[in-house]
Amino acid sequence: MKLNTIKAGAQKGFTLIELMITVAIVGILAAVALPAYQDYTIRAQVSEGFTLAEGAKTAVSEYFANAGSLPADNTAANYAGATGKYTTGVAVANGAITATYGGAVNTKIAGGTITLTPTADASGTLIWACSYDGSKVVQKYVPSSCK
């Protein structure tokens, strides 16, 4: 007597459980990666303001070296101002340099500012202090040199 056996066909594709687990894992990874990427892009946008402010630092430092005082504004510092993709303006006021964020910047920091404030030490060298508004531009977005 011969028994007829039926071979089960090899499984092809994924089961529903396997697909659900895969979708859950992808969802968890996306939930972690997206905020980290957004913070990274905002930090890059904030760094543009610091880069643009370097030109103003040079102008203020030169004015201070020649006049012995801090310039009242952009005109006194012989600084034309600067704008960028994420920075709507860099301005000098009583030696302090303020960069304001706007334009194509992330909405979390739109309208925020960073300020570089000079102080002369005993030898007549300018020491720069960094500050940020704290409401739009917060500590996690600024470079380590400003914390």
pLDDT tens digits, residue range 125-134? 999 999 999 8
Query: What pLDDT sits at residue 4?
Result: 61
pLDDT at 39 over 60: yes
Whole-structure pTM value? 0.79
Sorted by where each starts, the structural domains of the chain and their CATH numbers stand as: 16-146 (3.30.700.10)
User: If you count them, how many residues does the chain have?
Assistant: 147
Cβ–Cβ under 8 Å, residues 101 and 112: yes
Region 46-68: what's the mean pLDDT?
Answer: 94
Query: What pLDDT sits at residue 2?
Result: 62
pLDDT tens digits, residue range 69-123? 999 999 999 999 999 999 999 999 999 999 999 989 999 999 999 999 999 998 9
Report which secondary-structure segment, H or E, holds 24: helix 16-67
Cβ–Cβ under 8 Å, residues 60 and 77: yes
Give the strand order in the sheet containing 126-132: 87-93, 96-101, 113-120, 126-132
